[in-house]
Amino acid sequence: MVERITNKIKVADYMTHDVVTVSPEDTVEDVIDIICKTEHESFPVVENGKVIGYISSADLLRHNPKDPISKLMSTDLIVTNPDMDLTDAARVMFRTSFSKLPVIDEEGHLVGLLSNSDVIRSQIERATPEKVWKLKRTLETIHNIEIKVGRSKVAINQLVPTQPKIYADELEGRIYELKKGLTEPLVVIQKPNRIVLVDGHHRVVAAKKLGIDVMDAYTLMLEKDIPLGMEKTARDAGLYSLDDIKVLDYARHPLVEATKLRRRKR
């Protein structure tokens, strides 16, 4: 099933779905134990699925280990919802100095968490709705066709890659993100007899290594099998499946190399 999308980035597009929470009955020592196990430093306090407070590591200082979280948690909360424009949510975070916002539905149930990292990620990831729509307009202009755009689940073993190589260091980063549930959609072109992977090669290879078979994707749907330049380039490079993508483990991603601090020899 393909879900239609708009060209606006929503909180739902980048929020973390797998949220670590605590309950008001938990004690200070319980939360410290969770911090040690998860490496998170703050948590929504949830009761019956609804957010009733927020607790951070700073709130735990100088309190009895047996004190309940309900006694220490902050109840002066700023929250957002999945349909809020991400830019608006970022403005709220900037103006209130909150680094994380619980994301709730209409009934007040916790459905996700938006952090500063998620906002930053939205600015550097390539798979944004705006760029999907730009690709749509480009293809429509070149081929004089109309393309429908949607959101769907795709089986990664059916994807035809168009990028011959990826970098090992970025691949490790993508594996980490997938384990944390921090993934943005792929960009694919759905043709009558195949699915062409346009963007997300590191993500797909990472998913394959983790045994993930299906991923979320922005889908550009072509009703006719129109020859695409990227497909010819891929064939010329011998790209027919994900196994044909080479992982460069001897080179860093160009951005990492360019920003690496180098020590001067004395």
How confident is the model over 33-59, as pLDDT tens digits?
999 998 789 999 999 999 999 999 999
Residue 263 predicted with pLDDT over 70: no
pLDDT of residue 266: 46
Q: Give the CATH number of domain 125-257; options: 3.30.360.10, 3.40.190.10, 3.90.1530.10, 1.10.10.10.
A: 3.90.1530.10
- Mean pLDDT on 193-209: 94
Residue 6: pLDDT band by 50, 70, 90 thresholds? Answer: low
Instruction: Please answer whether residues 43 and 169 qualify as being in contact, where contact means their C-beta atoms are separated by less than 8 angstroms.
Output: no
Higher per-residue pLDDT: 17 or 125: 17
List of residues 6+ apart from 142 with CB closer than 8 A: none
Q: How far apart are CA 5 and CA 151, in angstroms?
A: 6
- Mean pLDDT on 92-120: 90
Residue 125 predicted with pLDDT over 60: no
pLDDT of residue 29: 95
pLDDT of residue 127: 52
Phi then psi for residue 19, to 5 deg, are -100, 130
Residue 7: pLDDT band by 50, 70, 90 thresholds? Answer: low
Helices (H), the chain: 11-14, 28-38, 69-72, 86-96, 116-124, 129-143, 168-179, 201-209, 229-236, 254-259
pLDDT of residue 60: 93
Residue 207 predicted with pLDDT over 50: yes
Residue 264 predicted with pLDDT over 50: no
List of residues 6+ apart from 152 with CB closer than 8 A: 1, 2, 3, 190, 216, 217, 219
> In this prediction, what percent of the chain has a pLDDT beyond 70?
88
Fold agreement between 9-122 and 125-257:
no
Q: Where are the domains of the chain?
A: 9-122, 125-257
Task: Please give the structure tokens belonging to residue 171.
Answer: 């691949």
CATH fold of 9-122: CBS-domain (3.10.580)
Q: How far apart are CA 9 and CA 85, in angstroms?
A: 6
pLDDT of residue 261: 46
- Mean pLDDT on 180-189: 82
